[in-house]
Structure 1
Amino acid sequence: MKYFLVGFMGSGKSYVGKKLSEKLQLNFIDLDHYIEQIENRSILDIFNKEGEDHFRKLELKYFTSILKKENTIISTGGGTPTHNNIMKLITESGTSFYLKCKTDTILKRLVKSDKNRPLIKDLSNEDLKKFIEVKLSERSKFYEKSDYIVNNNSKEAIIEIINLLR
């Protein structure tokens, strides 16, 4: 079985995925880290040197290769479900969870992070909030195609997902 975690950057996909894999004794793949390992460079470097279109092609290629794996929790990038019909592949290939967060929760998490994310690296906090609001409204229609919507504004998401899988 495959389980997919989708949601905006900073929604906790990587954290929740790692914790779920430990508790459920399943493999865990963070798509962005997987791409970085195989390409031997950062997502930021790929964006800066080849652009977003090239990155999205790599993302599709590596996502498709991951689909062959079983008993795995897969954390997608924030934009992954919105490109190349990947959300359709997700819904056809396993059980998906949208880790939904409020804009302010995402903003706090991203401000605390290193901002080493290509789409937001040069934004002020004010511009970052606007970016989150705009992109979240554009992407929600993709995220909401998930099998389950789990609010991840607190630490209860892991327990909720485990209960949904029982």
Structure 2
Amino acid sequence: MRIYLVGYMGCGKSTLGKQLALRLGYDFVDLDRYIETKNECSITSIFKKYGETVFRKEERLCLEEVSNKISIVISVGGGTPCFSDNMELMNHTGKTLFLNPPISLLFKRLKNRTEHRPLLANKTDKELLEFIERNYNERLPCYQKAQHTIISENIKVDDLLPFFN
């Protein structure tokens, strides 16, 4: 089985994905780290050098590559479900779970980690919160295409297990 964790930046996809993979005895791939390793370049550098369009094309190619693996938990980037037909690919090739904590928690988690996230860099707290709210709401229809959703401020790996047993 392939399990894709989707949701906004800071929702816990990578942390929970590693824990879920360990519990299930699956491999784990963080799609952003996979892209960086393959390109020998950070996501931030790819955005700066080539722009978002080139990044999204590379993201799609990498998503297709990891979608060929079995017994794997894949944490995708916050924007991944909203480009190309990535959500359809994920739903077709595996199980998808939308992690959906409150925006206030996303803001709290992201406000001191903007330097590694090109879309959030150089924003004041007010600008950051406004951006997160607007961007999250734009992406929400894509996230809602996931087969399962978990809404909680304190999502734990045990909360995910019932979706995949």
- Listed one character per residue, the Cα deviations across residues 45-102 of structure 1 (whole Å, up to 9, x for unaligned) are 0000100000001001111111110000000000000001100101111100000011
State the TM-score, normalizing by the size of structure 2.
Answer: 0.96
- Corresponding position of 1:60: 60
- Residues 72-151 of structure 1 aligned to structure 2 (within 5 Å): 72-113=72-113, 115-151=115-151
Instruction: Give, in whole Å, the separation in 1 of the partners of 2:24 and 2:45.
Output: 34
Instruction: Give, in whole Å, the separation in 2 of the partners of 1:152 and 1:90.
Output: 23
Instruction: Read off the aligned partner of 2:159 and give its amino acid letter.
Output: E
CA RMSD of aligned residues (A): 1.0
Number of corresponding residues: 165
Instruction: Give, in whole Å, the separation in 2 of the partners of 1:112 and 1:33.
Output: 20
User: Shift in Å at residue 23 of structure 1?
Assistant: 1.0
- Residues 30-69 of structure 1 aligned to structure 2 (within 5 Å): 30-69=30-69
Runs of at least 5 residues in structure 2 that lack an aligned partner in the other structure: none
Instruction: Give, in whole Å, the separation in 1 of the partners of 2:159 and 2:151.
Output: 9
* Inter-CA distance 62–79: structure 2 relative to 1 (3 Å threshold): same
Instruction: Give, in whole Å, the separation in 1 of the partners of 2:142 and 2:100.
Output: 12
Runs of at least 5 residues in structure 1 that lack an aligned partner in the other structure: none
- Corresponding position of 2:159: 160
Task: Judge conservation of contact 1:12–1:152 (CA < 8 Å) in 2.
Answer: no
Instruction: Give, in whole Å, the separation in 1 of the partners of 2:25 and 2:13.
Output: 17
Instruction: Give, in whole Å, the separation in 2 of the partners of 1:5 and 1:54.
Output: 23
Secondary structure of the corresponding residue to residue 111 of structure 2: helix
Instruction: Give, in whole Å, the separation in 2 of the partners of 1:111 and 1:101.
Output: 16
Instruction: Read off the aligned partner of 2:59 and give its amino acid letter.
Output: E
Secondary structure of the corresponding residue to residue 98 of structure 2: strand
Q: Matched residues, percent identical?
A: 35
Instruction: Read off the aligned partner of 2:117 and give its amino acid letter.
Output: R
Bigger mean CA deviation after superposition, 146-155 or 122-131: 146-155
User: Shift in Å at residue 143 of structure 1?
Assistant: 0.4
Instruction: Read off the aligned partner of 1:163 and give its amino acid letter.
Output: P
State the TM-score, normalizing by the size of structure 1.
Answer: 0.96
User: Shift in Å at residue 113 of structure 1?
Assistant: 2.8
Instruction: Read off the aligned partner of 2:94 and give its amino acid letter.
Output: G
User: Shift in Å at residue 153 of structure 1?
Assistant: 1.4
User: Shift in Å at residue 161 of structure 1?
Assistant: 1.1
User: Shift in Å at residue 155 of structure 1?
Assistant: 3.8
Secondary structure of the corresponding residue to residue 145 of structure 1: coil
Instruction: Read off the aligned partner of 2:124 and give its amino acid letter.
Output: S
